[in-house]
């Protein structure tokens, strides 16, 4: 396993991470079991993966509870814990309460990366209020690094302007071989500014794994109506994914950038997600 800095001079994290949206209950199908998710996390750590991502939104905190059991089994020092505050908890006091609840569910005293899950388009909570609360948590030692998720360049600029003692180290966004919207603005900006890109859905919720085809589509609540899995898209995508070496037995969450590696600014040694 290779390790890269997270953000400008940030901590070393594994190039391959593991996301735990599926550990949030039965939304991904009745065959998803807590014990299997826990064992997958533990096995990932055995293989050298230390970056494990979750969120309070995944099953109303259920994913964090499942993850806590894995942390207990592998040891806190072997896991870089990344979690997220939900978009409905972006008021200052709510951010602090949400963080305290996540810490309790995870069974830890601090998280390594605390991310704003998505900008708030409904309540219109000012980003200044959210970022100041995150900086307070950072100073208090509750969170070691501040990150965001699903932020456009305009959101990144505004959020960073409200931080005085820390900076955003990462932006977690959807990115895979089929969904590459971030390449227009977000990716160049983050590369220039030394902000890590963490890719959620790097294998397109499984479509790039080679597991699914026109005669076999996922039926769970998350993917049943997903455009990626429409018959026409499956027919067009599956042959391409197989020709590029993806197969059901060789799924990989490695970020699909240059040389298949995590894109980052070399001089600043970046899920759903979801």
List 58, 114, 175, 212, catalytic entry: 58
Instruction: Find out whether 103 and 95 touch, Cβ atoms under 8 Å.
Output: no
Helices 62-74/34-46 angle, 10° precision: 40
Instruction: Find out whether 206 and 248 touch, Cβ atoms under 8 Å.
Output: no
Instruction: Find out whether 204 and 177 touch, Cβ atoms under 8 Å.
Output: yes
Instruction: Find out whether 3 and 13 touch, Cβ atoms under 8 Å.
Output: yes
Q: What span, in angstroms and rounded, lies between the C-alpha atoms of 124 and 116?
A: 14
189 is catalytic: no
Q: What span, in angstroms and rounded, lies between the C-alpha atoms of 200 and 265?
A: 19
Instruction: Find out whether 171 and 145 touch, Cβ atoms under 8 Å.
Output: no
Cα of 139 vs its chain's centroid, Å: 23
Alpha helices in the chain (DSSP H): 34-46, 62-74, 92-106, 127-139, 153-161, 186-193, 231-243
Q: Which residues are catalytic?
A: 58
């Amino acid at each position: 396993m290779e390790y890269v800095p997270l953000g400008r001079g940030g901590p070393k994290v594994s190039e391959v991470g593991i996301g735990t949206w599926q550990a949030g209950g039965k939304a991904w199908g009745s065959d998803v079991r807590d014990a299997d998710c826990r064992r997958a996390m533990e096995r990932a750590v055995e293989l050298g993966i230390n970056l494990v991502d979750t969120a309070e939104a995944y099953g109303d905190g259920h994913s964090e509870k499942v993850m806590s059991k894995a942390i207990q089994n592998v040891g806190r020092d072997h896991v870089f814990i990344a979690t997220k505050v939900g978009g409905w908890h972006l008021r200052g006091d709510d951010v602090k309460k949400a963080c305290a609840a996540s810490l309790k569910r995870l069974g830890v005293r601090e998280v390594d990366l605390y991310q704003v899950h998505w900008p708030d388009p409904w309540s219109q909570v000012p980003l200044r209020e959210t970022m100041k609360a995150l900086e307070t948590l950072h100073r208090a030692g509750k969170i070691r690094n501040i990150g965001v998720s699903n932020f456009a360049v305009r959101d990144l600029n505004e959020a960073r302007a409200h931080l005085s003692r820390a900076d955003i180290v990462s932006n977690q966004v959807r990115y895979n071989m089929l969904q590459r919207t971030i390449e227009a603005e977000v990716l160049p900006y983050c590369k220039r500014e030394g902000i890590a890109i963490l890719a959620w859905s790097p294998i397109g919720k499984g479509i790039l794994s080679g597991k699914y085809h026109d005669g076999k589509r996922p039926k769970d609540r998350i993917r049943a109506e997903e455009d990626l899995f429409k018959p026409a898209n499956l027919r067009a995508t599956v042959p391409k994914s197989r020709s590029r070496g993806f197969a059901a037995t060789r799924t990989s969450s490695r970020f699909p950038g240059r040389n298949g590696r995590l894109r980052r600014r070399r001089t600043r040694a970046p899920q759903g997600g979801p």
